[in-house]
Homo-oligomer: A and B are copies of this chain.
């Protein structure tokens, strides 16, 4: 796994453990709720992750952006789709969003590079991408 992706994920997991070990009930429930929010509903998972991503971009939270980029990647969002999400975020939120977009673009490239180095997951992701793009285009 690329260092950027790995570091982000490891720090995230490690600190979440610290936080949840304090047994604050409100926070535990909020975090569960956070997971529920992005589950398949009348909107599908892809759409929900796109919503989470654009919200994170206009609020300019790099770590939130990285998290949703990871999810979008897993769910087969294509680079072309991603940049249309970036465009909405940039128009709504202004040029102040651009530095966050730079870091997002870097992270996305890392996710892509990783795929080329790990053949199994590459195949799987490509399959998802094709599938999603196909369905999407045939709507």
Contact = CB atoms under 8 A, between A and B. Distances in A.
Interface in A37-69: 37-38, 41-44, 47-48, 50-52, 54-64
Given A12-B102, A26-B87, A92 B92 contact: no
A55 B93 contact: yes
A135 B44 CA distance: 12
Interface string A76-100: 0011110111111111111111110
B33 A85 contact: no
Interface of A: 11-12, 15-16, 18-19, 22, 24-27, 29-30, 33-34, 36-38, 41-44, 47-48, 50-52, 54-64, 78-81, 83-99, 101-103, 105-106, 109, 133, 135-136, 139
